[in-house]
């Protein structure tokens, strides 16, 4: 609806050829998908300047290191004569069951660094009205961003484990036996990584969306992973097992330790978790409750935020 | 020297504010480039497009930035790293917000207390009333509109009765009534002998309020002084006058004969005359008109406004 | 020096923002809650364990970090520090006022928490009282050192909170604990040393000698205040036109 080329006695309006868009519009799903992709890219600093890539690249390299080291050890083991090879294999601290324990702190640092940027920036610069006045609903916004963070963390955990898988397949005497030997681990590390990404991601999203100031959000997320295990350890040692059993379900780090142990049938890394001896499905339930609860609260935050 | 020699009785005046070949750069970007000027009592307007370096200059003058070269002198003392100069200076910054949890009155009171004013509460109340903020003075500044925040900042800068007042885009966000009120205030302060410098990119404000102007463009000082005098100095740009007389055509012919006039144009029933020498033309016109027996009805300079001065200066 | 009062007052109001205060109260309530839990469960551990592990290693540095970086740092961040600077006040008074607020509020929050935790876990036997008192004083002095250090950090960089976190968690938490020779570069170790000097330590730990501990805390505090004053005197406004 524009006035084109109107002229009258006192003045003229000129037709600049300005037209409104009348073509097809991609609806909500496309918008959510675009926001999700942007969030995922932002986590890895793609499409941003060099400084935004430092943390993702540094942490990305660090999470790959154990896998590379393990492949190296496996390769040596395969070439070593006789029983020495098998011994070397067994002694390697890097396996799928221990992988999470090794890299969880790195993944947590990644979430603590990138999450606040993802959720806090839009709030700090006041651009939320620009998002909310589009087809995208507030829920879509919250879920798309959280989803982007989830997938970013999932990739961070899966890529090295896939690398480990491939390495072990090819290090075996022939790829086929290697494949058959290792294939069982795929659903295991997939499941654990999904749980870890989900729990880390939704808790980070919850904290970051409620704390626009980046430094505070980072500090709180790190504290959320470091303090509870200490508290659980103290309570377990000083008070007793029962209160510790209750408290451990509020400690994200310990929950993931528990699910890891259950999935792989191994002993948990943390001595206190091992001594508490809760059945695996309890940790799984706690993780699921944590993920859904945190996500619901994140959505609620964006539903009620005043822009 | 005799006792009547003026050099004996009038002591040398130290300018309230002086910049001496001041430059400021950030790495490769030069924000202020070799600027020198001196300010005295009265209102001076710092005029320039956005990004010209006005805020940088004001921060340099307030001792909040170190000059990369040259020096900034407040009453002869270097402005950098000398907190004592602030007893005489009031600064109204543009970007910085006021503590949002303080009310307007509390902010003025804080400033008064930190300046060591004798009766801070009374001074704060006076300052609040001067800027017409008494109604909202007890609400937190976080709830203020932009114009109110500006006025709160000005109150905070006035509370210790400074002799030098630096204002960075002070009329931003004010409605016309508030702006007029503030301009009256600044004019009266200048008349009382204070040195006031305000920056703006809006020509009308500067034209209305400033006694003299400083034009900055891309970090350089393009011109300084009264804008009409600056106009006179722009000799490579011809002055045009519109003349209405009893016989335009004959007047045009007569004027063209004079070497000071280099163009005369008849259009739309008016005579436009171009001359490079303003002073000479003011003598020539009546002489020529009288000699030819033509009476002049109207003589008006057509490109003498601040706007045309400014646009010329920043397009060079 | 009647500018000191208003300086302290405005800094105090800025630091005690509602959210920040709530977070700090939660943090200092944690050891007390654990102490309560231990008591209710009938346990009677050595107070030194909880006070060392939880209060000195976790709560004290975090509270001092948040308050120390907020006292002046929040004003530097949003630019309102300009109003403090364009006043004829020597920069050292501004630093002293903000440091007083930061360490004062830290002390007010952490010392009662330490005392309550100690009393709850170990009761009122004379040995336990000594431990509790020792840790309380150590927290006071350590709090002053920590908050001054973090205040100085906030005048040097805008990322003071994150860098302070890295210092606390990684340097003090891991490195200085592992490498014997670097223990004197850790405020935490100095604080524990002061506690030990006054009679309170975690059984099985080997804290620094008393003299060194006090000296470290003093040097850190004074050095931090000097650095902060120097930085503030050379403060430059951010950005251009």
Q: Which pLDDT value is given to residue C34?
A: 83
Q: Which of A60-64, B27-31, C210-214, C225-229 has the highest mean pLDDT?
A: C225-229
Indicate whether C190 belongs to any domain. Answer: yes
Kindly determine whether residue A239 and residue C37, on different chains, have CB atoms separated by under 8 Å: yes
Residue C37 within a domain: yes
Q: Is C126 on the interface with B (CB under 8 A)?
A: no
Q: Which residues pair with B17 in a beta bridge?
A: B39, B74
Indicate the pTM of the whole model.
Answer: 0.81
Q: Please, what is the end-to-end C-alpha distance for chain C in angstroms?
A: 36
Q: Which residue does chain B place closest to C87, by CA atoms?
A: B86
Q: What per-residue confidence (pLDDT) applies to C1?
A: 56
Instruction: Taking residues A96-116, report their average pLDDT.
Output: 88
User: Does A12 reside within a domain?
Assistant: no
Q: What is the 3-state secondary structure (H, E, C) of chain C?
A: CCCHHHHHHHHHHHHCCHHHHHHHHHHHHHHHHHHHHHHHCCCCCCHHHHHHHHHHHHHHHHHHHHHHHHHCHHHHHHCCCHHHHCCCCCHHHHHHHHHHHHHHHHHHHHHHHHHHHHHHHHCCCHHHHHHHHHHHHHHHHHHHHHHHHHHHHHHHCCCHHHHHHHHHHHHHHHHHHHCHHHHHHCHHHHHHHHHHHCCCCCCCCCCCCHHHHHHHHHHHHHHHHHHHHHHHHCCCCCCCC
In a domain, A1, yes or no: no
| Contact (Cβ atoms closer than 8 angstroms) between residue C112 and residue C120 | no
Residue A10 lies in a domain: no
Instruction: Give the residue extent of every domain in chain B.
Output: 17-226, 232-315
Tell whether B110 lies on the interface with C, counting CB pairs under 8 A.
yes
pLDDT digits (tens, 9 = 90+) for A248-292: 899 999 999 999 989 888 888 888 888 888 888 999 999 999 999
Banded pLDDT at B65 (limits 50, 70, 90): very high
pLDDT of residue C200: 74
Among B287, B233, B300, B238, smallest CA distance to B258 is for B287
Percentage of residues of chain B with pLDDT beyond 70? 94
| ipTM of this complex | 0.87
Q: Cα distance from A43 to chain C (closest Cα, Å)?
A: 19
Sign of the four-CA dihedral C151, C155, C156, C159: positive
Give CATH for domain B232-315. 3.30.70.100
Asked whether residue A26 is domain-assigned, the answer is no
First to last CA, chain A: 30
The upper half-sphere exposure of residue A306, i.e. CA atoms within 13 Å in the direction of its Cβ, equals 0
Q: Which tokens belong to B229? A: 């005098």
Q: What is the pLDDT of residue B300?
A: 87
C87 part of contact set with chain B, CB < 8 Å = yes
Q: A304 pLDDT exceeds 70?
A: yes
* Cβ density class A77-110: b for 16+ within 10 Å, e for less: bbeeeeeeeeebbeebebbbbbbbbbbbebbbbb
Please provide the average confidence, as pLDDT, over all residues in chain A.
Answer: 86
C241 and chain B in contact, CB less than 8 A = yes
What percent of chain B clears pLDDT 90, i.e. is strictly above it? 49
**From the CA of A227, how many Å to the nearest CA of chain C?**
8
pLDDT band at A1 (very low <50, low <70, confident <90, very high): very low
Residue A31 has pLDDT above 70, yes or no: yes
d(CA B150, CA B20): 30
Please name the helix (run of DSSP H) or strand (run of DSSP E) that holds residue B38, with its range, or none.
strand B29-39
**What gap in Å lies between CA C11 and CA C14, rounded to an integer?**
5
Which pLDDT band, with edges at 50, 70 and 90, does A237 fall under?
confident
Structure tokens at B101: 């949890």
Q: What is the predicted pLDDT for the residue at B6?
A: 52
Helix (H) or strand (E) holding B270: strand B270-275
Which residue from A minimizes the CA distance to C30? A231
Pick the CATH number of B17-226 from 3.40.50.300, 3.90.870.30, 3.10.25.10, 3.10.20.30: 3.40.50.300
* Confidence (pLDDT) at A71: 83
Band of pLDDT at residue A2, cut at 50, 70 and 90:
very low
Condensed to tens digits (0 to 9), the pLDDT of residues B114-161 reads 999 999 999 999 999 999 899 999 999 989 988 899 999 999 999 999
Is the fold of B17-226 the same as that of B232-315? no
How far apart (Å, rounded) are the C-alpha atoms in residues A200 and A149? 9
Q: Which positions in chain A have a beta carbon within 8 angstroms of at least one beta carbon in chain C?
A: 215-216, 218-220, 222-223, 226-227, 230-231, 234-235, 238-240, 243
Number of domains in chain C: 1
pLDDT band for C241, please (50, 70, 90 cuts).
very low
Structural domain span for residue A278: 44-304
Contact C237, B79 (CB under 8 A): no
Q: How far apart, in whole angstroms, are the C-alpha atoms of residue B277 and residue B290?
A: 20
Q: Is residue C241 part of a domain?
A: no
Query: Number of structural domains, chain A?
Result: 1
Q: Which chains pack against B, by 3+ Cβ pairs within 8 A?
A: C
Is the residue at A24 inside a domain?
A: no
Exposure string of A157-185, with b = 16+ CB inside 10 Å and e = fewer, is bbebbebbbbbbbebbeeeeebeeebeeb
The domain of C113 spans 4-233
Residue-wise pLDDT tens digits, A54-101? 889 989 998 998 888 888 887 777 777 665 556 666 666 777 888 888
Residue C154 C-alpha, separation from nearest chain A C-alpha, in angstroms: 12
Averaged over C90-107, what is the pLDDT? 95
Closest Cα in chain B to C234: B81
The residue written with tokens 């324990």 in the block is A101
Domain presence at residue A36? no
């Amino acid at each position: 609806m524009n006035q084109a080329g109107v002229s009258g006695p006192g003045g003229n309006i000129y037709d600049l050829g300005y037209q409104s868009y009348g073509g097809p519009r991609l609806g909500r799903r496309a918008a959510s998908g675009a926001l999700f992709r942007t969030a995922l890219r932002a986590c890895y600093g793609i499409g941003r300047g060099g400084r935004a890539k430092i943390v993702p690249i540094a942490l990305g390299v660090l999470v790959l290191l154990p896998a590379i080291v393990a492949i190296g050890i496996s390769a040596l083991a395969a070439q070593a004569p006789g029983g020495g090879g098998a011994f070397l294999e067994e002694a390697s601290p890097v396996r799928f069951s221990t992988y999470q324990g090794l890299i969880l702190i790195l993944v947590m640092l990644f979430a603590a660094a990138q999450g606040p940027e993802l959720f806090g920036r839009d709030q700090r610069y006041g651009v939320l009205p620009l998002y909310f006045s589009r087809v995208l609903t507030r829920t879509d916004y919250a879920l798309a961003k959280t989803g982007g963070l989830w997938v970013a963390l999932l990739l961070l955990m899966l890529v090295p484990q896939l690398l480990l898988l491939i390495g072990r397949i090819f290090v075996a005497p022939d790829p086929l036996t290697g494949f058959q030997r290792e294939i069982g681990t795929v659903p295991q590390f997939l499941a654990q990584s999904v749980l870890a990404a989900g729990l880390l991601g939704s808790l980070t999203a919850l904290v970051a969306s409620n704390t626009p100031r980046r430094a505070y959000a980072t500090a709180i997320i790190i504290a959320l992973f470091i303090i509870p295990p200490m508290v659980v350890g103290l309570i377990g040692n000083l008070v007793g097992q029962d209160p510790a059993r209750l408290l451990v379900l509020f400690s994200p780090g310990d929950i993931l330790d528990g699910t890891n142990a259950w999935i792989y049938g191994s002993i948990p890394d943390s001595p206190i978790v091992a001594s508490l001896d809760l059945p695996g499905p309890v940790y799984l339930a706690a993780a699921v409750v944590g993920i859904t609860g945190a996500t619901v609260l994140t959505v609620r935050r964006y539903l009620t935020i005043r822009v | 020297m005799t006792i009547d020699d003026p050099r004996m009785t009038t002591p040398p005046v130290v300018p309230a504010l002086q910049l001496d070949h001041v430059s400021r750069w950030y790495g490769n970007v030069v924000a202020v480039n070799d600027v020198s000027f001196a300010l005295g009592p009265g209102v001076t307007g710092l005029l320039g497009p956005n990004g010209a370096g006005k805020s940088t200059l004001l921060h340099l003058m307030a001792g909040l930035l170190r000059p990369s070269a040259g020096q900034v002198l407040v009453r002869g003392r270097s402005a950098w790293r000398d907190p004592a100069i602030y007893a005489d200076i009031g600064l109204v910054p543009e970007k910085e917000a006021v503590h949002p949890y303080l009310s307007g009155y509390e902010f003025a009171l804080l400033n008064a207390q930190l300046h060591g004013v004798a009766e801070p509460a009374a001074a704060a109340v006076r300052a609040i009333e001067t800027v017409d903020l008494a109604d909202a003075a007890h609400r937190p500044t976080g709830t203020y509109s932009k114009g109110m925040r500006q006025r709160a900042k000005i109150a905070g800068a006035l509370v210790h009765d400074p002799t030098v007042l630096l204002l960075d885009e002070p009329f931003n966000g004010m409605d016309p009534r508030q702006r007029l009120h503030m301009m009256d205030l600044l004019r009266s302060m200048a008349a009382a002998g204070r040195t006031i410098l305000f920056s703006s990119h809006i020509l009308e404000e500067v034209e209305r309020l400033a006694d003299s102007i400083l034009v900055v463009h891309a970090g350089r000082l393009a011109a300084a002084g009264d804008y009409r005098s600056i106009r006179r100095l722009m000799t490579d740009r011809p002055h045009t006058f519109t003349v209405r007389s009893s016989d335009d055509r004959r007047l045009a012919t007569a004027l063209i004969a004079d070497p000071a006039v280099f163009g005369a144009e008849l259009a739309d029933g008016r005579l436009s005359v171009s001359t490079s020498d303003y002073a000479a033309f003011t003598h020539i016109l009546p002489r020529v008109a009288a000699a030819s027996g033509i009476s002049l009805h109207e003589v008006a300079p057509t490109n003498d406004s601040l706007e045309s001065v400014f646009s010329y200066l920043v397009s060079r | 020096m009647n500018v000191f009062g208003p300086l302290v007052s405005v800094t105090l109001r800025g630091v005690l923002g509602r959210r920040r205060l709530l977070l700090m109260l939660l943090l200092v309530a944690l050891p007390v809650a654990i102490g309560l839990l231990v008591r209710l469960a009938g346990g009677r551990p050595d107070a030194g364990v909880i006070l060392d592990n939880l209060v000195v290693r976790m709560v004290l540095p975090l509270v001092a970090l948040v308050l120390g970086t907020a006292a002046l740092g929040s004003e530097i961040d949003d630019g309102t520090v300009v109003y403090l600077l364009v006043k004829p006040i020597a920069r050292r008074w501004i630093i002293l006022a903000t440091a007083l607020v930061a360490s004062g509020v830290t002390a007010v929050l952490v010392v009662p928490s330490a005392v309550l935790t100690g009393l709850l876990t170990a009761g009122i036997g004379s040995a336990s009282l000594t431990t509790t008192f020792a840790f309380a004083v150590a927290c006071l002095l350590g709090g002053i050192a920590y908050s001054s250090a973090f205040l100085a950090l906030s005048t040097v960089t805008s990322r003071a909170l994150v860098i302070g976190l890295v210092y606390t968690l990684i340097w003090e938490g891991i490195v200085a604990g592992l490498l014997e020779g670097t223990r004197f570069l850790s405020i935490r170790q100095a604080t524990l040393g002061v506690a030990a000097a006054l009679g309170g330590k975690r059984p099985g730990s080997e804290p620094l000698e008393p003299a060194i501990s006090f000296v470290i805390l003093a040097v850190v505090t004074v050095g931090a205040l000097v650095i902060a004053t120097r930085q503030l005197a050379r403060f430059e406004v951010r950005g251009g036109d």
